[in-house]
Amino acid sequence: MQDEASAFAGGCGPVAEYLDHLAVERGLSSNSIEAYRRDLGTYVAFLDRRGVELRDVTRADIEAFAMARRLGGYAVSSVERSLSAVKGLHRFMLREGFSTANPASAIKLPKKAERLPDVISIDAAAALLDQPFPQTDAGERDHAALEVLYGCGLRASELVGLDIRNVHLDEGLLRVTGKGSKERLVPIAGSAAKSLQHYIYSGARDGLAAHARTLDECPAVFLNKNGGRLSRQSLHATCERYGRAVGIEGLHPHTLRHSFATHMLAGGADLRVLQEILGHADISTTQIYTHVDRTQLTEVYLAAHPRA
């Protein structure tokens, strides 16, 4: 097993080839690849301690690995993620001829407790977006960023990755690059479109771009104080700061995406249309918002019915 561990560290062998496959063929993000790398590194180290080669792994070895993770105090979601990586690796090894069987084929992933996404109310969203923003370039940027997060349901990475060339306000569309580098068109209208247009054409974005440390202009829509692309960390801090100002603690960019989806469904949006806007590969991911809507319906019913 020492040879396999060294091959993993040295960038060759089935684990390294699987990671390359995920990056090149599947188009996973660098963050996802690193998560797979950590989980599979833990798995390889576990097998090394048991003296088991990857090609000789049995179902019992994988079940022992899962048990060790659970006994180690890891959350169900962490155990599921690790096992998902292990199952993917062994499928790849069988397909590519690294092994003659898939010992993980019958392994079941642990069942996660369903957790409904955090959402804010329509009134809370209005309070957040209608609050007075600083009359500065950064303030105009922050207002536009929050409006687009809620108005278009973008992920944080999609918002900070948005480039000027992909903003088509005259057509009411944004060309967004989502997970797996997949592009989709997202409609933008109303206050989100007005706020974004004002930020871009009022001189606020140009004011931030003027602070760039290089002569090459950054193509990003949302710029930081140095004229470069706004980071996800800065966007998170922005959401928290403006949320706290109107009494919403711990506001996260993804909360605004969840709220967009929930409010769209409550307003009568078709589930398939919403799936397309959100960029979900599987309709089952979008269906979580129908559960949120049902929860709200139940709350309204309990509050309003005289004999509930």
Spell out the domains of the chain, with CATH numbers in brackets.
Answer: 2-95 (1.10.150.130), 122-304 (1.10.443.10)
Residue of 18, 199, 242, 289 marked active site = 289
9 pLDDT exceeds 80? no
Residues 198-213: pLDDT tens digits?
Answer: 999 999 999 999 998 7
Q: Is 108 a catalytic residue?
A: no
Q: Is 211 a catalytic residue?
A: no
The alpha-helical segments, DSSP class H, found in 75-134 are 76-95, 122-130
296 pLDDT exceeds 90? no
Short-list 192, 95, 203, CA closest to 145 = 192
CA distance readout (Å), 306 to 140, 161, 231, 298: 47, 50, 50, 14
Side-chain half-sphere exposure of 171, counting CA atoms within 13 A: 8
Q: What is the mean pLDDT of residues 230-254?
A: 96
Residue of 81, 155, 205, 263 marked active site = 155
Residue of 141, 257, 258, 263 marked active site = 257
Q: Is 289 a catalytic residue?
A: yes
The Cα 286–Cα 143 span in angstroms is: 27
Average pLDDT score over the chain: 88
Phi-psi region of 119 (alpha: psi -120 to 50; beta: other; left: phi over 0): beta
φ, ψ dihedrals at 186, nearest 5°: -120, 130
pLDDT for 44 equals 95
Q: Quote the tokens at residue 250.
A: 């711990």
8 pLDDT exceeds 80? no
11 pLDDT exceeds 70? no
Residues 50-104: pLDDT tens digits?
Answer: 999 999 999 999 999 999 998 888 888 888 899 999 999 999 999 999 999 999 9
pLDDT for 7 equals 43
34 pLDDT exceeds 80? yes
Side-chain half-sphere exposure of 228, counting CA atoms within 13 A: 6
The Cα 209–Cα 93 span in angstroms is: 48
Residue of 21, 37, 70, 179 marked active site = 179
Q: What is the mean pLDDT of residues 176-182?
A: 89
**Which secondary-structure segment (H or E) carries 175?**
strand 173-177
pLDDT band (50, 70, 90) for residue 2:
very low
pLDDT for 214 equals 76
Amino acid found at 176: V
pLDDT for 109 equals 78
196 pLDDT exceeds 70? yes
288 pLDDT exceeds 90? no
The Cα 260–Cα 255 span in angstroms is: 9
Residues 152-164: pLDDT tens digits?
Answer: 999 999 999 999 9
CA distance readout (Å), 52 to 58, 77, 84: 9, 26, 20
Q: Is the pTM of this model over 0.75?
A: no
Q: Is 21 a catalytic residue?
A: no
Short-list 13, 87, 78, CA closest to 48 = 13
Buried b or exposed e, range 71-98, using 16+ CB within 10 angstroms: eeebeeeebbbbbebbbbbbebbbeeeb
The Cα 33–Cα 24 span in angstroms is: 11
Q: Give the rounded distance of the alpha carbon of 223 from its chain centre.
A: 21
Q: Is 236 a catalytic residue?
A: no
115 pLDDT exceeds 80? no
pLDDT for 282 equals 82
pLDDT band (50, 70, 90) for residue 298:
low
pLDDT for 179 equals 85
